[in-house]
Structure formats: C-alpha cells, structure tokens
Amino acid sequence: MAVTFKSLETILERYPPSPEHLISALQEVQAAFSYIPKEAMTAVCDHLGVPVSRGWAVATFYKSFRLTPRGMHEIKVCLGTACHLKGGARLVEGLERDLGVCRGHTTKDLSFDLDTVNCLGACALAPVVVIDGNYQPTATHRKLKKMLKEMQKA
C-alpha cells in the first residue's frame, strides 16, 4: 500500500489523540505498509501528541518494528530452547548461505525476509520454521531448500 494521507487517516481516526496509543498505532501502520515509513511516523506522532524522537525510540526499542520495506516472503526460524537443542541454529545458517543474507535482513531482490524468533511456543514441532505464517514442523534444511526453490519459481 502506498503511504498516502488517506490510508494513514483511516488508521489514525481509530485512536484518540493520547500518547498511550503509540505502540498500537505503529503496529497498525506496520500491518498496512509492512514497515514504518518516515512520513507515517511523523503523522502518528503529530496525531498522538508525542515528540517524533519518542516515536523512533519506541520503534527501535521493540524488535517487531521494521524501518525498511519487507520482502515478499517472510521466513522466521525459531531459536527457542527446544529448537536450539534440535538444531535451529544450523537451519538459520543454512538459509543465510542459501539466500545470501544475514538474519534480520531482506534479500536484494526483496523476495525473502530472513528472521529469527525467540520462541513460537510450538516446542513439540522443534525445530520449527514459519514461512509466510505457515508452520513447518520438524524442519530440515533439505525440506526448506525445496520450498524456497518452489517459491522462487512461482
């Protein structure tokens, strides 16, 4: 979605102009645009009456906020304790090599985001990887590689 005055307006009108809504409003901005665009941050802070510096402080403190556009597909590798014991770290390393990006980054062609997550609370499925919201139970590097290839083709 393009960052337009209109699209921001519809988000902002749901929040009374009070600082406590900063996190919720930014979450909604991110849901709409996939990241926090600069223009949106200014608009949100103006609306809620908080300094823009505080807006950026919040957006950089909390891990879930992104300041750059996301890739088309989102890969999240769980590194919770159970997944760690069952080789989650090796999966991320493998994906880093395959995609040519470090964790927390997006491939140059904006097709994949590679992220890690502390724990998804799905420990029976360890090691678990979530691709575009779908859980891949007891993931192996081979299975993932195959999936990525198919996604690249599509």
Partner 1 sequence: MAQVSTATRFEDFRLPSAEALAEYRASILAERDPNRTVIIVCHGTGCIANGSPKVAAALRKAIAAAGLGAQVIPEIKTTGCHGFCSRGPLVILQPSGLFYQKVKEADVDDIVQTTLLEGKPVERLLYTDPRTGEPIPHDYEIPFYKYQQRVVLRNIGKIDPLDIRDTIAVGGYQALAKALTAMSPEEVIAAVEAAGLRGRGGAGFLTGRKWRLAVENARKSPGPVYVVGNGDEGDPGAFMDRTLMEGDPHAVLEGMAIGAYALGAHQGFIYVRLEYPLAVRHLTNAIEQARALGLLGENILGTGFNFDIKINRGAGAFVCGEETALIASLEGRVGEPVPRPPYPAEKGLWGRPTIINNVETWANVPQIIEKGADWFASLGVPHSTGTKIFSLVGKVNNVGLVEVPMGITLGRIVDEIGGGVPGQDRFKAVQTGGPSGGCIPYELKDTPVDFDSLTKVGAMMGSGGMIVMDQRDCMVDVARYFLHFLEEESCGKCLPCRLGLKSMLEYLDRFAKGQGSQQDIDDLHSLARAIMKGSLCALGGTAPNPILTTIQYFKDEYLAHVVDHKCPAGVCRDLITYSINPELCNGCGLCARTCPQGCISGEKKKPHTIDASACIRCGMCMDECPVGAVLVA
On the question of a cis peptide bond just before residue 127, with omega within 30 degrees of 0, the verdict is yes
| Single-letter residue type at 141 | H
Candidates 32, 72, 101, 125; binder of partner 1 (CB under 8 A) is: 125
Q: For residue 34, what are its two tokens?
A: 């996939």
Site string for partner 1, 5-44 (x = CB under 8 A): --------------xxxxxx-xx-----------------
Q: With binding defined as CB under 8 A, does residue 102 bind partner 1? A: no
| Single-letter residue type at 58 | V
| Residue 78 marked in a binding site | yes
User: What size, in residues, is the chain?
Assistant: 154
CB 78 within 8 A of CB 130: yes
Least separation in angstroms between residue 65's CB and partner 1 is: 7
- Residue 147 CB contacts under 8 Å (≥ 6 apart), including other chains: 131, 136
| Residue 119 marked in a binding site | yes
CB 112 within 8 A of CB 106: yes
Candidates 1, 61, 109, 153; binder of partner 1 (CB under 8 A) is: 61
List of residues contacting partner 1 (CB under 8 A): 19-24, 26-27, 48, 50, 54, 57-58, 61-65, 79-82, 84-85, 87, 90, 93-94, 97, 117-126, 128, 134-137, 140-142
